[in-house]
Chains A and B, each alone.
Chain A
Amino acid sequence: MSKLGDIKDWVLRANHALTTYYNAPYRAAIARAKRDEDDLFMLLVFSEMMGIPNPASWYTLELQPLLLERFHDWHVRMGMEKSPFDHISCC
């Protein structure tokens, strides 16, 4: 490999090492924070169906099919063993 290639390779590796060093200790904390945000978002999307008025429900309704995959994990995490809705029978 040419000298320039060597330097490029070295810079890439240094970048990777530094990025790992920056992220590694906090990956879990950030993933947890992201999950909390996502959970709140799920609540917003499904709020109307649970009797909480939501002025944006016209738009959030469209999102429901996209979030179905995550629905089961979410309701379990929220302390509801079975799906709270009759029409979504994930379990």
Chain B
Amino acid sequence: MNAIVLAVFGLAVMFTGFFVYSRFVAGKILKLDPDFKTPAHTMTDGVDYVPTNKFVLWGHHFTSVAGAAPIVGPAIAVIWGWLPALLWVSLGTVFFAGVHDMGAVWASVRNKAKSMGALSGDVVGKRARSLFMIVIFLVLLMVNAVFGVVIANLLINNAGSVVPVWGAIAVAMVIGQAIYRFKWNLPLVSLVGVIVLYTLIWIGPQVPVALPETAFGLSDRALWILLLFAYAAVASLLPVWMLLQPRDYINGLQLFVGLGLLYVAVFVAGPTVVAPMINSDVPAGTPSLFPLLFVTIACGAISGFHGIVASGTTSKQLNKEPDARLVGYGGALGEGTLALAAIIAASAGFATFEEWKEVYSSFGGGGLKAFVDGGGTILHAGTGISPEVSATMLTVMAALFAGTTMDTGLRLQRYIFQEWGEIYNISWMKKAAPATLLSVGACLALAFGAGGADGGGGLLIWPLFGTTNQLMAGLTLLVVAVMLVRRKTNALVVIAPMAFILVIGLLALAIQIYDFFGQQKWFLCGLAVVVLVAGVLVALECIAALRKEQHEVAASN
């Protein structure tokens, strides 16, 4: 079958969702009001609260939520065949992610643009707030460990990408200085920056860099992981304008260029889908499709991380309340298109079924490697760019996304440790450097604890990360649901996805604990139990909060 069919089907479902379903939810359920004065107007301060053009805000929301995760998850999930992944990504974006993001923006805008953590405390209760904090900490811990492993794998898989991936950091630092210190013209600086970055991508394959297979008794993968965390630790301590801000900006530009090129290539080349529709012959050790598919693809179908962005910076800049539809729902849709591109690359980017099967020889074996190799082939066929440069371009895109997430994640984790230092009066933990070391130590322990001495099995925690991420989404949906019930509006469009992800998440956890126990993977088993405890508490909190609200509404009637 032609991959264009997949692309057209996915895009058609998502855009129908945007034009029909999101209009219904925005108009009839959330009742977005054009006359409502948003915090960007009532609390304007020129810093946090600034009314912003909805298209610019959409661009910001989209590029902030779309990272490496919506590529890794779907590319791993293609192991069960392309159809389940395609359906979950398209329908998940329409009924889950879109509603979640738009709801989160709305909930925050209606509560002085407070963050989701604060909101869960104000709207639901103190217990929900504590739970939210615990889940955030778990997500950050796992995301850093997983992405460390992911980038290391990418750099080993494609030695030609080493120069552009590290070179991009230098480009970002120069952009940061040019904008912040010298106040140069931004469009010009961006243009030069992008040209230099793509020149590096072109040069990269000609000067491949590989670490020795073993050094200091460590494998090359382990060395890359250590180097990446050393970099992330330093980067997270630098002022944001120096590296994080320009890096984030380049990533945004790269996302638009990369995604655009990939779709153009799919429509021009029309590659054949070689992956099976449903894979009945999965490699040994692959967990069952149901329910693991739903937690393997978190970002791209529904992700709690979006709630943090939606209630962090997006809601403070929303010009008019109805803009939440384009910004929130549209932002989630943008991420859906990235996940769709990953599915197409991982299922149609190989010459034969046998070649595909070789890549998907174990669970987690596909992932970014499948996206980069498959996507590179499609890009080459559709645009004529050489296969090496195409693959390097996608590797750099994915590695930069994952790298920026690591910087940000480590920074946030450091803040949490510093806050604990304040709360429990541990003076050394209040300082930035020791708190960063503690964060790096925790992430490294997880990466090597889960993945063995060379970190190779680190991707095994991917489904656990997905589950935790969805638990966070469940809490955000709970906040939206409670607000709707209080307003006596039918909250089914929010409660149904919430119930679905909680039930599926708990089921997936139980299965994973059973599997890890059987395989005697004690570390992963322990981690899964911790997530399960958090999950049960989240589910109980959801039931208790909604029942209490309904009783109160009934009593007031």
Binding site for B on A (CB under 8 A): 11, 14-15, 17-22, 24-31, 33
B186 touches A22 (CB 8 A): yes
B239 touches A33 (CB 8 A): yes
User: Residue of B at shortest CB range from A23?
Assistant: B245
Which candidate, B12-20, B51-59, B440-448, B514-522, is the interface stretch facing chain A? Answer: B51-59
Interface size bucket, B side? 20 to 34
B164-206 vs A, CB cutoff 8 Å, 1 = contact: the mask equals 0000000000000001000001110010000000000000000
Q: Which of B48, B57, B186 lies in contact with A18, CB distance below 8 A?
A: B186
User: Residue of A at shortest CB range from B59?
Assistant: A21
B241 touches A30 (CB 8 A): yes
User: Does B211 count as interface, using CB distance less than 8 angstroms?
Assistant: no
B60 touches A19 (CB 8 A): no
Instruction: Give min CB distance, A77 to chain B, whole Å.
Output: 16
CB-defined A-B contacts under 8 Å, sample of 5:
A22-B249, A24-B52, A24-B57, A28-B48, A28-B313
A35 vs B318: C-alpha distance when bound (angstroms): 25
Contacts of A25 in B (CB 8 A): 60, 64, 245, 248, 313
A29 vs B312: C-alpha distance when bound (angstroms): 12
User: Does B144 count as interface, using CB distance less than 8 angstroms?
Assistant: no
Given contacts A15-B186, A30-B240, A30-B241, contact A22 B48 (CB under 8 A): no
User: Does B497 count as interface, using CB distance less than 8 angstroms?
Assistant: no
Q: Which of B240, B244, B313 lies in contact with A24, CB distance below 8 A?
A: B313
User: Does B47 count as interface, using CB distance less than 8 angstroms?
Assistant: yes
Contacts of B47 in A (CB 8 A): 27-28, 31
7 smallest A-B Cβ distances: which pairs?
A29-B240, A26-B245, A31-B47, A28-B48, A20-B56, A17-B56, A27-B47
User: Residue of A at shortest CB range from B55?
Assistant: A17
A33 vs B107: C-alpha distance when bound (angstroms): 29
A20 touches B179 (CB 8 A): no
A19 touches B186 (CB 8 A): yes
User: Does B252 count as interface, using CB distance less than 8 angstroms?
Assistant: yes
B64 touches A15 (CB 8 A): no
B187 touches A18 (CB 8 A): yes
User: Does B50 count as interface, using CB distance less than 8 angstroms?
Assistant: yes
Given contacts A14-B187, A15-B186, A31-B47, contact A22 B179 (CB under 8 A): yes
Contacts of B249 in A (CB 8 A): 21-22
User: Residue of B at shortest CB range from A27?
Assistant: B47
A29 vs B48: C-alpha distance when bound (angstroms): 9
Instruction: Give min CB distance, A74 to chain B, whole Å.
Output: 18
- For chain B residues 209-264, which have a beta carbon within 8 Å of chain A? 239-241, 244-245, 248-249, 252
Binding site for A on B (CB under 8 A): 47-48, 50, 52-53, 55-57, 59-60, 64, 179, 185-187, 190, 239-241, 244-245, 248-249, 252, 313, 317
Most buried by B among A14, A27, A31, A33: A27
A17 vs B55: C-alpha distance when bound (angstroms): 9
A17 vs B187: C-alpha distance when bound (angstroms): 10
Contacts of A24 in B (CB 8 A): 50, 52, 56-57, 60, 313, 317
A33 vs B55: C-alpha distance when bound (angstroms): 28
Given contacts A19-B186, A33-B239, contact A27 B245 (CB under 8 A): no
A15 touches B187 (CB 8 A): yes
Contacts of B48 in A (CB 8 A): 27-28
Instruction: Give min CB distance, B39 to chain A, whole Å.
Output: 14
Given contacts A30-B240, A33-B239, A33-B240, contact A21 B187 (CB under 8 A): no
Contacts of B64 in A (CB 8 A): 25
Contacts of A28 in B (CB 8 A): 47-48, 313
Contacts of A19 in B (CB 8 A): 186
Contacts of B240 in A (CB 8 A): 26, 29-30, 33
B53 touches A17 (CB 8 A): yes
B241 touches A20 (CB 8 A): no
Instruction: Give min CB distance, A61 to chain B, whole Å.
Output: 30
Contacts of A33 in B (CB 8 A): 239-241
Contacts of B57 in A (CB 8 A): 24
Contacts of B55 in A (CB 8 A): 17
Instruction: Give min CB distance, A6 to chain B, whole Å.
Output: 17
B56 touches A27 (CB 8 A): no
A28 vs B45: C-alpha distance when bound (angstroms): 10
Contacts of A17 in B (CB 8 A): 53, 55-56
User: Residue of A at shortest CB range from B312?
Assistant: A25
Given contacts A27-B50, A31-B47, contact A21 B60 (CB under 8 A): yes
A29 vs B240: C-alpha distance when bound (angstroms): 7
A21 vs B186: C-alpha distance when bound (angstroms): 11
Q: Which of B52, B239, B245, B317 lies in contact with A22, CB distance below 8 A?
A: B245
User: Residue of B at shortest CB range from A15?
Assistant: B187
Contacts of B248 in A (CB 8 A): 25-26
Instruction: Give min CB distance, B154 to chain A, whole Å.
Output: 25
Instruction: Give min CB distance, A64 to chain B, whole Å.
Output: 27
User: Residue of A at shortest CB range from B249?
Assistant: A22
Instruction: Give min CB distance, B98 to chain A, whole Å.
Output: 21
A11 vs B252: C-alpha distance when bound (angstroms): 20
Contacts of A27 in B (CB 8 A): 47-48, 50
Instruction: Give min CB distance, A17 to chain B, whole Å.
Output: 5
A52 vs B556: C-alpha distance when bound (angstroms): 63
User: Residue of B at shortest CB range from A24?
Assistant: B60
A88 vs B56: C-alpha distance when bound (angstroms): 46
Given contacts A18-B190, A31-B47, contact A26 B241 (CB under 8 A): yes
**Further 12 A-B residue pairs, CB within 8 A, beyond A29-B240, A30-B245, A33-B241:** A11-B187, A15-B185, A24-B56, A24-B313, A25-B245, A25-B313, A26-B240, A26-B244, A27-B47, A27-B48, A28-B47, A30-B240
A31 vs B239: C-alpha distance when bound (angstroms): 11
A57 vs B292: C-alpha distance when bound (angstroms): 67
A14 vs B185: C-alpha distance when bound (angstroms): 12
Instruction: Give min CB distance, A53 to chain B, whole Å.
Output: 25
A10 vs B53: C-alpha distance when bound (angstroms): 15
